[in-house]
Amino acid sequence: MTAARTAYRAGTLAADLRALGLGPGDVVLVHCSLRALGPVDGGPATLAAALRAAVGPSGTVVVPAQTPDNSVSSAAYRAATAGLTDEERLAYEDRMPGFDPAVTPSFGVGAFAEHVRRLPGAVRSRHPQTSFSAWGPRAEELMRVHDLDSHLGERSPLAALEAAGARTLLLGVGYATCTALHLAEYRSRRPAPRRPYRCYVLRDGRRDRLEFEAPHLDAGPFPAIGAELDRAAFTRHGTVGDAPARLLPISGAVRVAVAWMDAHIGR
């Protein structure tokens, strides 16, 4: 019979993060599969403590806090309503929650991201579909601007993170989840086409519908772009717990992604 494994603790994970290249004062956007880390004593709280130990009190941890479940224009909505009649779809839409940045849970971004969103002092951007949460002394600054028609563009926390010299950390996940690469879609010589969006928000306790236009973003090319990024000198590779880990600057990642899109995507 195989002996039970010892679960990872914060000190061990912090040492792995430091070996990967994280250090005091860093700003880091984290995408994480907690399961890929292996057994972690304390779960997401332990990983949060490890990241805090690695970046120190002057560092800031950022996570996605997306909410596609309040949006009629999301893949989550299309999956949930597949096969429904028109009447059933309308009833489903009537039950969709309105977005409140203070309390609405994130959806589909993992247990660690949701844990960070709920931490005391965490600050969330106000976009009703593609918000981020930040934890640390630069949280307010980084989350301040998030325009409705800039899901992941120049008027979003991604651009603020790039300007702050932030890096993105992929823990046990691939480039398909690397949100920072969407910023390149706004800068490519072949920009993404615009499309209509519809979602719901809470305003003064009332559920309101929002309709607007914004670029149609597509993560489909990200694995191919990731193959280029894995060869880049600025990408650090390592292991955190059991998980393969990558750490790379957002500015460099976006620069490579723009060049790839300009060369390979025809709109």
Q: How far apart are CA 162 and CA 186, in angstroms?
A: 14
Annotate 193-217 with DSSP letters as a single string.
PEEEEEEEEEETTEEEEEEEEEE--
| 266 — pLDDT class (breaks 50, 70, 90) | low
* pLDDT tens per residue, range 5-38: 789 999 999 999 999 999 999 999 999 999 999 9
pLDDT tens digit sequence for 153-167:
999 999 999 999 999
Here the tokens at position 6 are 């010892």
Measured CA to CA, the distance from residue 126 to residue 116 in angstroms comes to 16
Give the C-alpha separation, 189 to 262, whole Å: 6
d(CA 21, CA 237): 9
- Would you list the domain boundaries of the chain? 10-264
User: Do 184 and 221 meet the contact criterion of CB atoms below 8 Å apart?
Assistant: no
Whole-model pTM: value is 0.92
Cβ atoms 106, 65 nearer than 8 A: yes
> What is the pLDDT, as a whole number, of residue 2?
54
